[in-house]
A and B are shown apart, each in its own frame.
Chain A
Amino acid sequence: MQNANLLYHKTVVYSIISLLALPIAATLIYSFSSRWGATILPDGFTLKWYGQLFSDIRFLEAFGRSLLVCITALLLALVLVIPLAFVVFYYYPGYDRLMNVLILLPFAVPPVVSSVGLLQFYADAPFPMLGTPWILIGTYFTIALPFIYRAIANNFMAINLKDLVDAAHLLGASTPKAFFHIILPNLKKGVLASMFLSFSFLLGEFVFANILVGTRYETLQVYLYNMRQTSGHFTSALVMTYFFFIFICTWLGSRISKSNAL
């Protein structure tokens, strides 16, 4: 009875997983095949498409731009969130709930709508921001906030922040010293996990990237979109590379947030 039940559950789970994996597997095979026309199986396998992709200077540039925009936005968010979360948790623990609401606000408006607002808002900026990476960095920064705040907040709760800082104070440390010697080193886990998770999220974001800057500062997302007319094998290779990268980041992020080692 038990075993039959288990078998049934396993069958259901694996069927769903295979179903979901099918398009990915097909894309993967397609990206490796030299030609796959009217036959059931491809005519032959090749690395040609990947070679073409990685020698396309436009792809490498777009990739570089994406990395630059995401990493800058994340660093900006960290620099803001860590001291903020410290103040909230050490001095005003009651404000954590307020913070959770505030930080989710950017998600209350659908990206298509808020990008129009952002465009209008930044049109009046003292220096031109539209079409520059700056507007994208600013937007991504707000998107990353909730991920980073939550991870850092969980981290603070896990380390018993108040007692640690109080203990450091009694041993003669000033608040900045306590922060740098004791709090920062203990945030490694939260920082790394939230960085990887929000990174993979930002890398997949398309609406803001396309509307706010589009081809004027072509990021990976926009590049992928613009290449949709070229060979299917080539775009498959592109999609797989993209997918692989996001997968690695997500995996690292969730692994770090689960492990106790750090």
Chain B
Amino acid sequence: MSYVSVEGLSKAFGQNQVFSDIGFTIEQGEFITLLGPSGCGKSTLLRSIAGLNPVDSSSLTVAGQEITHLAPQKREIGMVFQSYALFPNMSVSDNIAFGLKMKSVPAEEMARKVSRIIELVELKGKEDCYPHQLSGGQCQRVALARALVVEPRILLLDEPLSALDAKIRKNLRIQIRAIQKELNLTTIFVTHDQEEAMLMSDRIFLMHGGRIVQSGTPESIYTQPANAFVAGFMGHYNILDKDSAAELFGLNGTQSIAIRPEAIYIQEPGRAYSEHMTQPTPAIIKDHQLLGNVIRYKAMIGQQEITLDALNRSAGHLIPVGSSVGLLFDRQEFQPVSLSVSTPA
């Protein structure tokens, strides 16, 4: 029996069916990322699990206990909100202690727990500050500490990093993951950033159009996208419909294929390629973008646009726009995908 199990979860706001018949299971201590584009219902799903909005139908169990009809106060679920939702009238330590106070934890034990968690999230020295005196990253850590200190059975994080700048984001990602591992917390983390999802998760649930379209480890989702939407969302996959695939590579499958941009190479004279590679296909470079250590080219094969990534070895390597090149595709990386997005996970 899994630690968390969700079955038949549906939610509509009036005519707007946000999601329907969502089901999944999570093991204890797993770090799950709920990934999906903006507006696909991630926050609504989290709030439904927490009991903050009524759902139309579902069965929710945590550690063998049915919690479907339990009030949010009784679910022992911690949540960090997209807006942090720190109590503006309380200092950092009072914010963190609030949950313990509501449970009438004795003062001495409360002080001990609060100071331990403050150390864990590295906020020592900020105990008496008020939320408006803190930076975004510090607010985030207070919100995390406040949710953690009551030792919830599940921790829900709703895009906790989306309002922070890139550097703090990177640090906090690592910090959150380390704390989660240390406490062996069952966690659902919401994001619409696929890189974040890949980096942090044990498993990713990819949400789209009111359902979970694919779930699995970051590797399996990235390398074996179930459909064109997943392929497009997880990487900058090239999708070739079955006619183009037949024309270019002589494939006669019944499905479209997806190819990752890093599995396509620009032919370099005098270099030998493995036998997995296709013959060079003539193409014209249309555009290039410098992404740091990678150069992203857009090339045209006839009317078909192809995106490919090459390592940025030196500035002299940049191929000018308009050049004719030969493209080699790694046959092993051809992923048959369906163009429809309704394929179940």
Contacts and interface: CB of A to CB of B under 8 A. Distances in A.
Given A186-B88, A186-B89, A170 B79 contact: yes
Interface in A174-189: 174, 177, 181-182, 185-186
Contact of A171 (B47, B83, B88, B150): B150
Interface stretch (B96-104, B189-197, B223-231): B96-104
B49 to A, nearest CB: 11
Interface string B131-148: 010000000000000110
Interface string B313-331: 0000000000000000000
A186 B85 CA distance: 13
Contact of A172 (B83, B85, B102): B102
B15 interface: no
B89 A182 contact: yes
A260 B146 CA distance: 25
Nearest to B158: A163
Contacts of B47: 166
Given A160-B83, A182-B87, A166 B73 contact: no
B50 A170 contact: yes
B81 A172 contact: no
A167 B85 contact: yes
Contact of B73 (A160, A163, A164, A170): A170
B42 to A, nearest CB: 16
A172 B87 contact: no
A168 B88 CA distance: 13
Contact of A169 (B73, B87, B89, B103): B73
A173 B88 contact: no
A170 B102 contact: no
B98 A169 contact: no
B99 A171 contact: yes
A166 B85 contact: yes
Interface string B77-91: 111010101011100
Most chain B CB atoms below 10 A, which of A170, A181, A182:
A170
Interface string A74-111: 00000000000000000000000000000000000000
A227 interface: no
B interface: dominant SS? mixed
Question: How many A residues are at the interface, by size bracket?
Answer: 10 to 19
A222 B146 CA distance: 56
Question: How many B residues are at the interface, by size bracket?
Answer: 20 to 34
Given A173-B73, A186-B89, A166 B98 contact: no
Contacts of B77: 170
Interface string A129-170: 000000000000000000000000000000110011011111
B72 interface: yes
Given A170-B78, A174-B73, A185-B89, A163 B83 contact: yes
B89 A166 contact: no
Nearest to A169: B72
A172 B99 CA distance: 6
Contacts of B83: 160, 163
Nearest to B94: A181
B52 interface: yes
B246 to A, nearest CB: 53
A186 B132 CA distance: 13
Contacts of A166: 47, 50, 52, 72, 79, 81, 85
Nearest to B82: A163
A171 B146 CA distance: 8
Contacts of A177: 102
Nearest to A165: B85
Contacts of B102: 171-173, 177
B209 to A, nearest CB: 26
A160 B146 contact: no
Most chain A CB atoms below 10 A, which of B85, B99, B102:
B85
A39 to B, nearest CB: 58
Contacts of B98: 168, 171, 173, 181
Contacts of B72: 166, 169-170
Given A167-B79, A168-B98, 12 more contacts: A163-B81, A163-B85, A164-B87, A166-B47, A167-B81, A169-B52, A170-B50, A170-B79, A171-B102, A171-B150, A182-B89, A186-B88
Which 3 pairs between the two chains have the least Cβ-Cβ distance?
Answer: A171-B99, A172-B102, A163-B85
Interface of B: 47, 50, 52, 71-73, 75, 77-79, 81, 83, 85, 87-89, 98-99, 102-103, 132, 146-147, 150
8 contacts: A163-B81, A164-B85, A166-B81, A167-B87, A167-B146, A170-B79, A171-B146, A174-B73
